[in-house]
Every structure is written in C-alpha cells, then in structure tokens.
Amino acid sequence: MMSRKSFHTVTMTKPRRITFSESSNPKPSSAKYTEGKLTYAERLNIYMNHPWGLVDYHIYLTHIESRRDEINRSKECHLLETGGFTQVTLTEELTSEKIPTGTNPTIVFVSLPVPKVGNRFDNTKLVLGFDLATFNLQGYLVESETPLDDYKDLHKAWNKGRLMIDMHAHKLLGIVDHTMKNEIEILETGMLRHYGENKLELHAGFDMVIAIQFLQFLDDHADLLFEDGEWFREKYTPFQDDMREVIAASSRSSWFAANDGLAVGQYRQKEIKRVIVSGLFYGQTVDSLEQPVSNKQALKAIKAVPYDTERVSKLSARAKVIDMGAWLA
C-alpha cells in the first residue's frame, strides 16, 4: 500500500503575499517560514532572477511599477527638509524661491533597488530626483545596513548618499532622440553609460530602466515643464514604449533560450549571428567606402548629441518664466 506524501499548496493572498496553506497531510519540516518574513531584498533575489542567474529587467520593471499609476506616482514626489522628506505636489504657481528655507530643491520621485556583485540585491537604492533650480535629473546612490522601506528610513541614511547622475533634462531628451532614431545599438551598453552620464557601472538593462523612469517623470509633468506638453508626449512616449518593448523582448527571448537548454554564452553567439546576417545587407546602404573616417572623428560622432534647438529654446524660456515650485501637501 502506498503511503501518502506530505505536501502544501501555494496560494496567493492579499496583499500579494505567498503563504503555505495546510493540506490534509502532515506539515513538512521544510516549510518553516512564509514570504512575509523575508526582507524586500530577499524577495527580489528570489523573483527577479533569470535561470542563468542574471537579473530579468522586464520582471524588475514590472515589479517597481506595480500599482504606480499617475496618481500614485504624483504622491511619491517628496522634498527633503531638515526634519525629513515631505510629500509635495508640483505646481506652476509657486517659484523655486518659495521652496522652504533649508529644503533641498530636488524632488525625489522613485527609489530603485540596485543589483550588486553576483546580481544580488541588498538594501542599496538609487534614488531618482529632479532639481527644481537647475532642471537637472539626478540619481543618488544610498547604501544602508538596514532596509529602506519608506521615506523615514531613507532620510536616516540620506547623509550616506552619493550623487551619481546629474544631467540636464534637455541632454537626456537629446540622447534619447539620437539613440532611438540613429544608434539603437547603444542600448546594448546603456545610454547613460555610453554618454558618460552615470558614475556607476550598471547593467545595460538597469540603465534603460533609469532612462524610462526619467522619461515617465517628465511625461507626468509635461504640461508644467514644457511649453507644449502634447509635443513632448507625441515625440517621447513612443521612445519610452520602444525601450519597454526591448526589455520585454529580451526577457522573452532569453527565457525561451534557457528553456531550450542554451547557456548564456551560446544564446549570445546565436543572437550575434542574426545581427551579422542583417548587417551584411544594411552595411551596403551606408556610404562607408567613399572616404575614411579617423578615430578622432569617429569618437566625436559617437559623443555628439544633436538637440532640437527650437524646442530647447522654448523650454529654456519656459523655465525662466515659471521656475518650478511646489505646494507642500
């Protein structure tokens, strides 16, 4: 007669916590804890990883944007004051001069968990913000020995933060426009890294997640930040969607490859062959044989980012007229 095996069924209970529910069989000794006892970093290490031991940035992006619609994103905007972070709402009426004395002019709007050595997460966060005085998009690396679960925890560790990204919004838009229209292959190494706008060595996927979050913030407040909000959305929302699709396609393709038994190196070689196949024909459409290009010219071409001068000048005028401000909630 066969003996009954001990087992537990896994069920989902609000708020999205996995728990073990008792079956009619004895409780196995291996089921000693529920996910509720895991730290945030530990949960990321379980659910963000690909079978190859790498971070799946499609799952990562989906996770950090979960339940963050435009209303909730606006509620996450905070100003740093001497006593801590204060929730604010961006407005057109107040100028930056009316931001309370002792307040950092940077609006903090999202904290991203940072993968460390071995693609593992700890309590390190990259906190993204927008400087009201300089129109710069910023990224602060904040490391802590304890979890940074809310703005109160973040304030305690803020003095350990280091400014790693500090770039004008105009430059980000120029980089995105140039990359997505002309050199999308830059995404493989990361736009911010390629143009020297990030002091950190980050995965290309994480680099793209940062760019998406910056664009999302500008999109949410386009009517305030730009003279023509609709122009901004028509031009840059498709780029944002394209980057999301690149991340999703990368995830989808790599999971199928892993399911087929390919190692990451084998998958890479397979994909390179596909690029070469298309490149053999596309390369013939480029006037590369007419005249040689020096190394100096090639480097200059890579780093040069064309701007939409008409729109930039309007944006500059807009910034001077209405300097950004905030109503304290």
Per-residue confidence band for 123, with pLDDT thresholds at 50, 70 and 90: confident
Q: Is residue 168 part of a domain?
A: yes
**Taking 70 as the threshold, does the pLDDT of residue 191 lie above it?**
yes
Query: Pick the residue with more confidence: 316 or 240?
Result: 240
Q: Is residue 109 part of a domain?
A: yes
Q: Is residue 13 part of a domain?
A: no
Query: Pick the residue with more confidence: 6 or 190?
Result: 190
- List the domain range (segments joined by +) for residue 240: 41-259+308-328
Ranges of beta strands (E only) in 98-238 are 104-115, 121-131, 136-142, 162-168
Percentage of the chain surpassing pLDDT 90?
26
Are 87 and 329 within 8 A, CB to CB? Answer: yes
Q: How far apart are CA 132 and CA 104, in angstroms?
A: 9
- Give the lowest-confidence range in 35-39, 77-81, 190-194, 280-284: 35-39
Taking the CA atoms of residue 273, residue 276, residue 278 and residue 279 in that order, the dihedral angle to the nearest 10 degrees is 170
**Taking 70 as the threshold, does the pLDDT of residue 311 lie above it?**
no
Mean of the per-residue pLDDT values of the chain: 75
What is the residue whose two structure tokens read 């968990």?
Answer: 113
Q: Is residue 105 part of a domain?
A: yes
Q: Is residue 176 part of a domain?
A: yes
Query: Pick the residue with more confidence: 63 or 219?
Result: 219
Q: Is residue 135 part of a domain?
A: yes
Q: How far apart are CA 206 and CA 190, in angstroms?
A: 8
Q: How far apart are CA 61 and CA 59, in angstroms?
A: 6
Per-residue confidence band for 102, with pLDDT thresholds at 50, 70 and 90: low
Say what the pLDDT of residue 296 is: 52
Q: Is residue 4 part of a domain?
A: no
Q: Is residue 275 part of a domain?
A: no
Q: How far apart are CA 248 and CA 205, in angstroms?
A: 10
- Domain count of the fold of the chain: 1
Question: What are 35-81's pLDDT values in tens digits?
Answer: 457 666 666 666 667 778 788 889 889 888 888 888 888 888 898 88
**Taking 70 as the threshold, does the pLDDT of residue 7 lie above it?**
no
Are 107 and 115 within 8 A, CB to CB? Answer: no
Query: Pick the residue with more confidence: 226 or 42?
Result: 226
- Rounded alpha-carbon distances, angstroms, from residue 151 to 1, 51, 91, 273, 326: 59, 33, 22, 47, 18
- Rounded alpha-carbon distances, angstroms, from residue 267 to 52, 202, 274: 11, 21, 11
86: which strand partners? 79
Are 91 and 72 within 8 A, CB to CB? Answer: no
Question: What are 129-166's pLDDT values in tens digits?
Answer: 999 888 999 999 998 888 888 888 898 899 889 999 99
Q: How far apart are CA 129 and CA 126, in angstroms?
A: 10
